[in-house]
Structure formats: structure tokens, C-alpha cells
Amino acid sequence: MVLHRDVKSRNVLLSSSLDAKLCDFGISRRKCSGNATAAAGTLSWTAPELLLGEECSEKVDIYSLGVLLSELDTCTLPYHDLNSLSERLVQHPLRLMRRIIDDGLRPQLSSDCPLPITHLIAACVSRNPKLRPSAADVGAWLVSARGERLLRKKL
């Protein structure tokens, strides 16, 4: 199994038929150990265990997928709302990292995000990797939610 370790919107390409393709496998690994995490991921999309240099699994990519799904919901980058004069977390990566790890900070969702997708995103960005769904479970969840109005905004 390959761990991508940098799943984010910039690393997803869409074909002319709107099929999503993951790209940029530059920091991917077959196995992820604590000492292999130093240069992994882009902060806003990175799972807490990867930020802490802990042992990790394919669940780091599930966490990042949850953040990416929040982007699709809000049409904004994660934590964009924390860029106020008082916070400026986006410009201070260590503060943002501490909020993600210590305070359980997660991306905001829109008020009209379909409930099944809200639940999926919450499961994907769980602090505990064991509580995150598998990739197969995410796929099944999305298929079952297909009847919901998933695309509300024109991108």
C-alpha cells in the first residue's frame, strides 16, 4: 500500500469527463514510520499523527481527504476563516499546528452541507486514526449519499 501523505486540492487533477486523478507522489511512502514523517504533507491537510511524527497508516490520507472534502463544500482553503488580525494562524504554521494537535481544530463546513457529507467529513478528520473510515468505506459512503444534492455551488 502506498501512502500519498500530501492529499490536497492542488494534487487532484480532473479529466475532461471530471474523473479525479491524484498526482504528485513525491513524498509518498510504502510504509510510514515515525522517522519518515519530517517532510510529509502540507500543514492544513496533514493528519495530527503525521505532524507529531508518530507511526501512521493509510488513515493519514483519509484525514487529508476529509479536509479536501471540506474545501469542496465551502469552495475555500482550509482554515481560511482563521486569518483574522487576532489569529493569523495561516501565517504562523506552528500555531496552526498546535491548534490542530492540541485543540482538535478542524476545517469549518457550510451550513448547507448535506448531513451525510458532514458526517463523512467528521469521521475522516477524527483525531483518532482508528476511528477514521477506510478508503472502501469512504467510497461506499459517497455512493450511498449520491442521492443528496452534493454539488450546490458552481465552481
9-144 maps to which CATH number?
Answer: 1.10.510.10
Please give the pLDDT value at position 135: 92
At what angle are helices 59-74 and 135-144 packed, to 10 degrees? 30
Q: How many residues does the chain have?
A: 155
User: What pLDDT sits at residue 152?
Assistant: 46
Percent of the residues in the chain that have a pLDDT greater than 90, as a whole number: 27
Q: What is the set of active-site residues?
A: 6
Indicate if the pLDDT at residue 110 is higher than 90: yes
* Rounded CA separation 141/143 (Å): 5
Residue 92 and residue 86 in contact, taking contact as beta carbons nearer than 8 Å: no
Amino acid letter, residue 118: T
